[in-house]
Structure 1
Amino acid sequence: MDNIAGRKSSLSWVVNISVFFLVVLWLLPTVGLFVSSFRTADQIASSGWWKVLFPSEQNLTLRTAGPDEQVEQDGLYVLEGQLFEPGSEAEISVWGASSRDIAAYEAGETAQLDDGETLFVGADGSYRMESPVPFEGSRGSRVFVTAETPPELTLNNYKNLLFDPNNVDGMSRAFMSTLTVTIPATVIPIVVAAFAAYALAWMDFKGRALLIACVVGLLVVPLQLALIPLLRLHLAIGIGKGYLGVWLAHTGFGLPMAIYLLRNYMVGLPRDIIENARVDGATEYQIFMRIILPLSFPALASFAIFQFLWTWNDLLVAKVFLIDATGKTTVMTAKIVELMGTRGGNWEILATAAFVSISVPLLVFFLMQKYLVRGLLAGSVK
């Protein structure tokens, strides 16, 4: 009796819990990326993002003051100060003077170093270094500590990425280059696919069924399979190193999906409207522009979302078809890789750069999400 009209199924709670679980599971990576973008490199290396609200134990490499700050007291040369930044609440548990034994001493102990030097390190990060001879060198001594640090969120990653003079110009150019690639690479396939989908849906001509089968077959062709032949073709005709080449590449790779999606939507439109327009003397172009396009806006918007997300986050096609040694046409995905360097330097800003990169696609998605489901379900119900 649970499926009587007007009564809810007794298993509806299972569906609700399952949907909630899937939504949470889907959002976890984005939440983790967002939280990590506000953490320091040491925090990211020492604990997962889910421990952001709890103290974490970290292995840190700190330095004492340089020899130019030494003072002479009772016949000894002394360096003293604080290893941590002012205001830090970190607490040292163990420390060491060598990277081979970073837990040689407890906090509060004094270590006997070479040449009669001694080093005291307190739990709060205070230190006192004494030597019978003057300290030499240009930098302070390294101290390896294991400290429990309180939870901390910082905007330094965003400041370094967006306002550092070494990064801001490159990121600005990369942002504009990505827009230059993405907008035409989204508009061009929509325009071409709309005409093709209308012809395949409502115009009778020989070979139409074969063309539809070819479009469906192209959906399963791997992108990587066509990269080298297409690049050789672009180089042969002189468009392999600029925006035109990457626009046409994205258009070619996106057209099968666009035609398939739009054709399924258009074929489900009421036939009476189109036949009445033809009886009234409307041409195929007029029917397409004044009837089909306005009614097909949900499908157009749905594909626009997919195409925009794909081209914005693309790295492979841009690397192959957008060749530029000067960096003027570098897209954001490639710029993020460059920021990390060949040895993975500055990897702590990877989460920050990735979240900055996905902010625009997220905005586009939320603005147009109401059309997404309507477009995807096109043609599924008559």
Structure 2
Amino acid sequence: MSIAQSLSRIGPARLFVHFAVLLIVIIWLVPTLGIFVTALRDKDQITVSGWWTAFVGSSQTTAVRLAGADKQQQDGAGYVIAGSVFGDGGSLGKVQAFGVKIQDPAAFKAGAPADLGDGETLLINDDGSYKYSKNASFADARPRRIYVSVASPPQFTLQNFKTVVTGEGIGQSFINSLTVTIPATIIPILIAAFAAYALAWMEFPGRALMIALVVGLIVVPLQMSLIPLLRLYNEIGTFFGVPSKTYPGIWLAHTAFGMPLAIYLLRNYIAGLPREIIESARVDGASDFDIFVKIILPLSFPALASFAIFQFLWVWNDLLIAMVFLGTNKDQLVLTGSLNALLGSRGGNWEILTASAFVTILVPLMVFFGLQRYLVRGLLAGSVKGG
């Protein structure tokens, strides 16, 4: 079967969907790859070339001043100054071209003598060694300034990640983010699963009103309820003598903001499960708790995993709620807060910023790829089934 026949059997609509998904994946993957490659590059190469040139090296033009008259040697009727444009530091790359004017820093190719006029000749080899000749003494001349274009081989290092993890406070913030995110993901799932089962399969007065209330709470912006929730939390904490800015406080805040979506998603999925299974279990004498634990939870794992991905990514990337309910002390600062502070203090150090950014997205990537096979199943089932 030819490729054209295969494409015709797929259909234009399905082909468009595949193309759109592929395009989204590419758009999402390219910046991530760029961050990772930049985080591994040497800081000097980052400033002169883009990450897409990382595997072919980089070219950099620098100003160099040749040796002065104290290094000249007589060569027949003329004088010569020899040395290296890299000084005593050894070869830092391969010289491609050179020039004597900033307007044209690559006027001459390396390895070919250049006539500079007034009886002066300059030869610079690709290894950086040069021979500066003149038909008169250099005694009354200032050391000449030239420009060289140097091609450096690719340089990769793990020092950027080491600096971030050990020297920028990111390590402690990484632990703080895990301490916030894991409970703030598990708690709403546990509560929402019980509520979703009750709203889907248990008959009680006001059930329809509670479902409508849950749907309405999904569209409430968290910024609208953030200050009232914080005041309520502080008043309760003061009444019971509980200190503010604690982990339980931020766990409860994220649980409150994540509950409406969790209940809505899980309720739609659980309501779409076969009624015969639930009724057969009740006929056999199973209680609602037994049905929920032994039947509903195992069958609802795709929906649970779908919400876990959303909640984990939301909490991990959050900065506003963490600053309000946890504070900005160095020992309590989450990863997004540390990265935000790093942007202010190290704005020009791209190697540090990209390494920090990749450390930040590393855990969400692991969670997403670990649970992504359940994501579409959970979302589709929850969107087309209901009861």
Give the TM-score normalised by the residue count of structure 1: 0.75
3-state DSSP class of the match of 1:91? strand
Q: Is the 8 A contact 1:92 1:145 kept in 2?
A: no
1:216 and 2:215 equivalent? yes
Number of residue pairs matched by the alignment: 346
Residue in structure 2 matched with residue 23 of structure 1 by the alignment: 25
Residue in structure 2 matched with residue 232 of structure 1 by the alignment: 231
1:249 and 2:273 equivalent? no
Alignment of structure 1 residues 18-57 onto 2, 5 Å? 18-57=20-59
Pair 1:95–1:346, CA change in 2 (3 A): farther
Pair 1:47–1:220, CA change in 2 (3 A): farther
Gaps of 5+ in 1: 1-6, 65-71, 110-119, 133-142
Pair 1:62–1:257, CA change in 2 (3 A): farther
Give the TM-score normalised by the residue count of structure 2: 0.74
Q: Is the 8 A contact 2:99 2:105 kept in 1?
A: yes
Alignment of structure 1 residues 149-298 onto 2, 5 Å? 149-150=151-152, 152-161=154-163, 165-167=166-168, 170-238=169-237, 240-298=244-302
Q: CA RMSD for the aligned pairs?
A: 4.0
Out of 364, 373, 379, the position equivalent to 2:367 is 364
Measured after TM superposition, the shift of residue 162 of structure 1 is 5.0
Out of 317, 321, 324, the position equivalent to 1:317 is 321
Structure (1 or 2) with the larger CA radius of gyration: 2
Pair 1:36–1:232, CA change in 2 (3 A): same
Equivalent-residue separation in structure 1 for 2:45 and 2:264 (angstroms): 47
Measured after TM superposition, the shift of residue 25 of structure 1 is 2.5
Q: Is the 8 A contact 1:37 1:349 kept in 2?
A: yes
Pair 1:358–1:276, CA change in 2 (3 A): same
Structure 1 residues 220-279: Cα deviation after superposition (integer angstroms, max 9, x where no partner): 122222222222233333354121111111111111111111001110011122222223
Give the aligned residue type for 1:23. Answer: V
Equivalent-residue separation in structure 2 for 1:27 and 1:205 (angstroms): 48
Residue in structure 1 matched with residue 120 of structure 2 by the alignment: none
Measured after TM superposition, the shift of residue 184 of structure 1 is 0.5
Equivalent-residue separation in structure 2 for 1:285 and 1:61 (angstroms): 77
Measured after TM superposition, the shift of residue 34 of structure 1 is 1.8
Identity %: 51
Measured after TM superposition, the shift of residue 185 of structure 1 is 0.5
Give the aligned residue type for 2:167. Answer: N
Equivalent-residue separation in structure 1 for 2:98 and 2:228 (angstroms): 60
Measured after TM superposition, the shift of residue 201 of structure 1 is 0.8
Q: Is the 8 A contact 2:187 2:255 kept in 1?
A: yes
Equivalent-residue separation in structure 1 for 2:366 and 2:24 (angstroms): 22
Q: Is the 8 A contact 1:94 1:102 kept in 2?
A: no
Measured after TM superposition, the shift of residue 94 of structure 1 is 5.9
